[in-house]
C-alpha cells in the first residue's frame, strides 16, 4: 500500500531578532534601546514605552554572553572596598549599598564580584589580581589610602567609578551623597534642640566622607557663633566598638557635653550604649544624632535621630555609571541628597 505523501506548507522567513530590529520598530536608536535595557541613563517615558513594546513584540532577549565575547569582555564588575571585617559585616549600611549595586549589575546581564580588602593590604597585589581576572568594571568604596597611589595601577581599559568622592581624582568620576549638608543638618538640629556643648564623633578622617561630615559640623557651629576647638573633635573609625571605647574615655575624663553628633549609626549606637550604662540619659542628659538611617537607627532604644542617605540608590547609581561607561556613554559626577530623620534620641524634655 502506497504511503500518503504529506506536503508541508512553507513558513514565511522570520527575520533574526536583533537590537537593530527592535530599535527600528520603536523608532529610536540602538543606544536608546541599550539604555532602556540596562537602565544606564534616563530615557523619556514615551521612548521607554515604545522600546519595551518592541521588545515584547519580538520577545527580544539579547545574548549577553555573545555580546561580551564579541567585545572581548568578561562581564565581571567588581565592587572593591578597603574595610575591617567588623565594619563590613556588622554595619547594615554596606549590605544595602551592595544590594543596590549587585541588583543593577545583574539586571544588566553582568556579574557582580565582591572584594573586601583589609586596610593593611597591598595596592599592588589587589590591582594585579584585578588585571589577571580581566574585570571589565570596578567600583571602589571606602578607600583609606591616597587614591594617587593606585590610579597608575588601574587598567586603562577598565570602567572605574568611585562610590564617594575619595579625595579628588582627576581621572575617574564618582557618585556620592552630600556629606557636608548632612553634617550641617545634624549639628543645626542639636543646636535647635538646645544643646550648648556639642561633640562630634568622627569616622576615619582618612576617608573623604568623614572629613566632609566634619566640615558640615564646623560650618554649623560657625554660623551659630559657637566656639570651635580640637577638644570637641573625637576621632573614631565608624565602628561601634571604637565609639564605645571613646565614649567611656569621655566619661572617665569628665568631659561635659549635652549633644553628640556621631558620624554614622553604628557609632551612635555605641555611644548611646555607654551613656546609658553610666546612668546618663538619652535624650534628657545628652542628645545624639547619627548618620545613614540604617535599620539599626529605628530599632534601637531609644530610636536614633539620624541623617538619611539613600544607600541602595548609592550602590545602584555607581553601577549605572559603570554600565554607561561600558556603553561608551558620557558620565558625570553625581551627588545624592540627604535629609534629617527626627526620632527619640534628640527629643526635648516634656
Q: Which three cell numbers stand for residue 10?
A: 512553507
Looking at residue 227, its pLDDT comes to 87
Q: Is the pTM of this model over 0.85?
A: no
Q: Which three cell numbers stand for residue 88?
A: 563590613
Rounded to 10°, the helix 208-223/179-192 angle is 40
Looking at residue 41, its pLDDT comes to 61
Looking at residue 282, its pLDDT comes to 98
* Rounded Cα–Cα distance for residues 304 and 59 (Å): 49
Which residue has cell 518592541? Answer: 54
CA angle at 281 for the pair 279 and 286, rounded to the nearest 5°: 120
CB-based contacts of 85: which residues, under 8 Å, 6+ apart? Answer: 116
Supply the CATH classification number for the domain 179-310+340-346.
3.40.50.2300
Q: Which residue has the higher pLDDT, 56 or 261?
A: 261
pLDDT, tens digit, for every residue of 267-289? 999 999 999 999 999 999 999 99
| Mean pLDDT, rounded, for 83-112 | 87
**Fold match between 73-176+311-334 and 179-310+340-346?**
yes
| Mean pLDDT, rounded, for 113-120 | 80
Q: Which residue has the higher pLDDT, 122 or 234?
A: 234
Residue 149 has pLDDT above 70, yes or no: no
pLDDT class for 172, splitting at 50, 70, 90? confident
CA–CA distances in Å: residue 338 to residues 33, 86, 181, 193, 305: 32, 25, 7, 20, 13
Looking at residue 6, its pLDDT comes to 46
What is the topology classification, in CATH, of domain 73-176+311-334?
Rossmann fold (3.40.50)
Which residue has cell 550648648? Answer: 196
Looking at residue 170, its pLDDT comes to 73
Looking at residue 19, its pLDDT comes to 76
* Rounded Cα–Cα distance for residues 42 and 326 (Å): 16
| Residue ranges per structural domain of the chain | 19-62, 73-176+311-334, 179-310+340-346
CA angle at 222 for the pair 218 and 224, rounded to the nearest 5°: 120
CA angle at 172 for the pair 166 and 175, rounded to the nearest 5°: 60
Rg value, the chain, Cα: 26
- High-pLDDT (> 70) share of the chain, %: 84
pLDDT, tens digit, for every residue of 291-340? 999 999 999 999 999 999 999 999 999 999 999 999 888 899 999 999 99
Residue 63 has pLDDT above 80, yes or no: no
Residue 121 has pLDDT above 70, yes or no: no
pLDDT, tens digit, for every residue of 1-54? 444 444 444 444 445 667 778 888 889 887 788 777 766 567 888 888 898 898
Residue 144 has pLDDT above 60, yes or no: yes
* Rounded Cα–Cα distance for residues 112 and 135 (Å): 10
Q: Which residue has the higher pLDDT, 138 or 133?
A: 138
Looking at residue 7, its pLDDT comes to 46
pLDDT, tens digit, for every residue of 260-270? 999 999 999 99
pLDDT, tens digit, for every residue of 90-99? 888 999 999 9
The mean pLDDT value of the chain amounts to 86
Amino acid at each position: 500500500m502506497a504511503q500518503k505523501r504529506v506536503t508541508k506548507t512553507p513558513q514565511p522567513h522570520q527575520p533574526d531578532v536583533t537590537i537593530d530590529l527592535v530599535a527600528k520598530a520603536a523608532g529610536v536608536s540602538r543606544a536608546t534601546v541599550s539604555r532602556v535595557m540596562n537602565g544606564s541613563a534616563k530615557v523619556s517615558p514615551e521612548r521607554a514605552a515604545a522600546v519595551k513594546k518592541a521588545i515584547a513584540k519580538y520577545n527580544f532577549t539579547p545574548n549577553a554572553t555573545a555580546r561580551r565575547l564579541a567585545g572581548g569582555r568578561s562581564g565581571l564588575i567588581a565592587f572593591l572596598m578597603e574595610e575591617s571585617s567588623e565594619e563590613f559585616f556588622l554595619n547594615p549600611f554596606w549590605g544595602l549599598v551592595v544590594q543596590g549595586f549587585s541588583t543593577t549589575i545583574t539586571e544588566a546581564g553582568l556579574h557582580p564580584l565582591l572584594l573586601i580588602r583589609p586596610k593593611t593590604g597591598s595596592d599592588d597585589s589587589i590591582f594585579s589580581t584585578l588585571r589577571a581576572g580581566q574585570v571589565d568594571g570596578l567600583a571602589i568604596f571606602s578607600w583609606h589610602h591616597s587614591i594617587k597611589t593606585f590610579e597608575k595601577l588601574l587598567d586603562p581599559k577598565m570602567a572605574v567609578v568611585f562610590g564617594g568622592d575619595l579625595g579628588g581624582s582627576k581621572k575617574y568620576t564618582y557618585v556620592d551623597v552630600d556629606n557636608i549638608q548632612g553634617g550641617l543638618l545634624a549639628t543645626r538640629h542639636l543646636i535647635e534642640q538646645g544643646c550648648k556643648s556639642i561633640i562630634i564623633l568622627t569616622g576615619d578622617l582618612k576617608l573623604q566622607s568623614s572629613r566632609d561630615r566634619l566640615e558640615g559640623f564646623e560650618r554649623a557651629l560657625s554660623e551659630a557663633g559657637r566656639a570651635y576647638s580640637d577638644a570637641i573633635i573625637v576621632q573614631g573609625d565608624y565602628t561601634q566598638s571604637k565609639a564605645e571605647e571613646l565614649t567611656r574615655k569621655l566619661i572617665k575624663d569628665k568631659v561635659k557635653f549635652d549633644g553628640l553628633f556621631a558620624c554614622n549609626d553604628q557609632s551612635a549606637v555605641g555611644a548611646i550604649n555607654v551613656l546609658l550604662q553610666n546612668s546618663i540619659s538619652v535624650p534628657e542628659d545628652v542628645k545624639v544624632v547619627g548618620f545613614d538611617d540604617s535599620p539599626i537607627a529605628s530599632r534601637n532604644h531609644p530610636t536614633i535621630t539620624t541623617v538619611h542617605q539613600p544607600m541602595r540608590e548609592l550602590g545602584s547609581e555607581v553601577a549605572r555609571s559603570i554600565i554607561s561607561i561600558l556603553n561608551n556613554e558620557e558620565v558625570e559626577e553625581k551627588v545624592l541628597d540627604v535629609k534629617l530623620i527626627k526620632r527619640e534620641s534628640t527629643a526635648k524634655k516634656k
